[in-house]
Structure 1
C-alpha cells in the first residue's frame, strides 16, 4: 500500500499527536507499506491558512493509494481536499479539535467554521478515543472511521511495566512526594492550575515538569506564578528529555499529573501508568476512557484547583494510600493496547478503504 501522511514540521518523537503519527508510520512501514511524509510549515494559525495554495501544489501530483492527514493541519488543507483526485481516499487522524481549546469567543467561532469545513472534506477518520469521535459527530458525519487508542509501550526497553516490589519500595522510600507532569508548555496543558492546586497541599512535595516550551510567554508566566505562590524551590522545569531521562523521571515519581483544559486521550498518562504512577487527569476530553477515578488515578475538573488539592493531600500525608492506586495503574497499562495493535487496527481500516 502506498500511503501519504501530511503533518506540520518534522515527524519526530515529540509527545502527543506527533508520537501517535510517528508510531503509525513505523508500524505501516514494518508491515511493508511505502509511506511518504509531507511536511508543511509550522506557523501561526492565520499564516497556515495562506498555505493552501502551496499545499495543493505539493499534494495534487502525489501518487498514493490513501492520503492520511493529521487534523492539526486543517487550516492548511481546508481548501485543498475538494480539489484533490476523487479516486484517492483522504483520511484525517483526529487527536483533538483545535476549536475546543481555550480561545476567545470570536476566535473559537472562526476556527470552528474552518475546522468543520475541513472535517466535511475528508473520506474517513482515525480517532484516538471515543470522546474525540463524539466531538467530530457534533459537526459532521463521523463515519467511516476507526477508534485506535494511543499506546504507551515505548518504554519497554526501560523496564516497563514495573513489578509490585518496585512499586512498594518506591512508596516506602524517603524524600518528598514527587509529582511529574509531561507535555508541551502551553496554556492548554494547564500547568498553572496544577501549580495552584499543589500550592495548597501541606507537606513535602516536589513537581517536575517535562516538556518543550511552545509558548514562551506562558512558560514565563508559570515561573512568575510559582514565585507568587511561594513554591519556586519545589518546581523544576526540565525542557524536553530523552527517552532514558524521561523514563528515569517517571520511575522516581509517585504521581503523574496533567489536568489539561482538553486532552483527546493522553499518551503521556498511559506511559506513566506503566511505571506504576496513578494519573491525575482532566475530566475535559477522553482521559476518562483510561483513568477510573480513585481506582487507578483521579479525574478532576481542570478549572477547579481545589480538586487537585483534595486528590493529592491525602497521598502526601499517607503514602501507603498510593499502593493500591499504583498497582491498579500498572495493571491498567498491562491491559492496554500496544502500538503494534494500534497500528494494525489503523492499517486494516485503510486497506478496507483502498
Structure 2
C-alpha cells in the first residue's frame, strides 16, 4: 500500500501530534508500506491512500475540497484546532473534516469536541523501566510552552510550595515567544527546551513527580509515558485518563494554582502516596505502538471512497458515540 501523508512543518518536532505522525510513518514502513510525506498538497499526487494531518487539512480550504471530491481522504485529528484559535474556528474545522472519507481521532475527548463522526485510535506507548527518581522533590513538566499548556498556572503553584522541590520544564520555548517572555521568574525552575527522545527518557527516569497544568489536553502522550514508568502524576483533566483508573493520578481543575499547589505538596510530602500512585500507574493498561499502527493500517485499507463514516475506538470493539 502506498500512503501519502500530508503533514505541515518540520516532521521532527517534539509535540504529541508530530510524534504520533512519526511513529505511524515508521510503523507503516516497517510493515512493508510505502509512505511519502508531503509538507503541503502537491499539484500532482500519484495513486495511493491520502492521509492528512488535521493541522494541514483544515488550512487547505478549497484545495482540500477538490481533492476530497476526486479521491478518498483520511484525516488524522490530534486536537481540535478551535481550542487554540477560538470558537469562531469550530464551524470551518467541522466543515473541512466532513469532506473526508474517514476521520481518525487520537482520543475520545478530541472526537467528542467536534460534531464529526470519527474512529478513535489512541497513541501507543513503548515499554520502559520504572523511573528511579532523584529523591529531591524533582517535578517534571513535559509540554510545549504555549498558553494552552498552563505554565503560568504551574509557576504560580510552584511559587506557593512550602516543601523542598525543583521544577524542570521540557518543551519548546519557540512556539509563542511573546507568551514565554511574559512568564514570571520563579526560583528553582529550569527551562530545558525541546528534548530528543533519549534526553527526555533521562529526565523521566530522574523525576519524582510529573506535573501537567494544561487548560485543555486531548490526550497527553507525556503523561502516558509517565504512567508506563510508574511516575506519580498530578494533572488537570486529559483524554488519557478518561475511562481509566482514577487512582493512577491526582487530578486538579485547570486555572487553579491553589489546588495544584496543594496536590503537589500532598505528593511531595508523602512517600506512601507516591508509592500508591506508582503502583496504580504501573497497573494502567495502555495500547502499544504496534497495535495502533496495525489499527490504522486496517482503516486505511478500508478507505475505499465509499464515503462511509465510522465511529468507534481502537483497539477493541467499536464504541459508538
TM-score using structure 1 length: 0.80
CA displacement at 1:198 relative to structure 2: 2.1
CA displacement at 1:291 relative to structure 2: 5.8
Cα offsets for 1:50-80 (capped at 9, x unmatched): xxxxx4xx15x21233211111113421212
Partner of 2:268: 316
Matches within 5 A, 1:108-257: 108-136=86-114, 138=115, 140=116, 142=117, 145-153=118-126, 156=127, 160-162=128-130, 170=133, 174=135, 176-213=136-173, 214-222=175-183, 225-226=184-185, 231-232=186-187, 234-257=188-211
Give the whole-Å Cα distance in 2 for the aligned partners of 1:302 and 1:75: 28
Partner of 1:353: 303
Give the whole-Å Cα distance in 1 for the aligned partners of 2:243 and 2:154: 20
Structure 2 unaligned spans of 5+: 305-321
- Which structure shows the bigger proportion of residues in helix conformation? 1
2:83 aligns with one of 94, 97, 100: 100
1:324–1:111 Cα change, 3 Å: same
Structure 1 unaligned spans of 5+: 41-54
Give the whole-Å Cα distance in 1 for the aligned partners of 2:140 and 2:93: 33
Give the whole-Å Cα distance in 2 for the aligned partners of 1:263 and 1:282: 8
On the 8 A contact 1:78/1:121 being kept in 2, the answer is no
Partner of 1:270: 224
CA displacement at 1:13 relative to structure 2: 5.0
1:19–1:259 Cα change, 3 Å: same
1:194–1:292 Cα change, 3 Å: farther
Give the whole-Å Cα distance in 2 for the aligned partners of 1:237 and 1:12: 20
Give the whole-Å Cα distance in 1 for the aligned partners of 2:68 and 2:97: 17
Alignment root-mean-square deviation, CA: 1.9
Give the whole-Å Cα distance in 1 for the aligned partners of 2:79 and 2:63: 21
CA displacement at 1:298 relative to structure 2: 2.0
Give the whole-Å Cα distance in 1 for the aligned partners of 2:47 and 2:24: 17
Matches within 5 A, 1:285-296: 285-289=238-242, 292-293=245-246, 295-296=247-248
CA displacement at 1:289 relative to structure 2: 2.2
On the 8 A contact 1:177/1:316 being kept in 2, the answer is yes
On the 8 A contact 2:57/2:75 being kept in 1, the answer is no
Cα offsets for 1:4-33 (capped at 9, x unmatched): 111111211512000000111111111111
Matches within 5 A, 1:336-347: 336-347=286-297
TM-score using structure 2 length: 0.88
On the 8 A contact 1:292/1:298 being kept in 2, the answer is no
Give the whole-Å Cα distance in 2 for the aligned partners of 1:263 and 1:306: 20
Corresponding residue SS for 1:309: helix
Give the whole-Å Cα distance in 1 for the aligned partners of 2:28 and 2:99: 24
| Alignment coverage as a number of residue pairs | 303
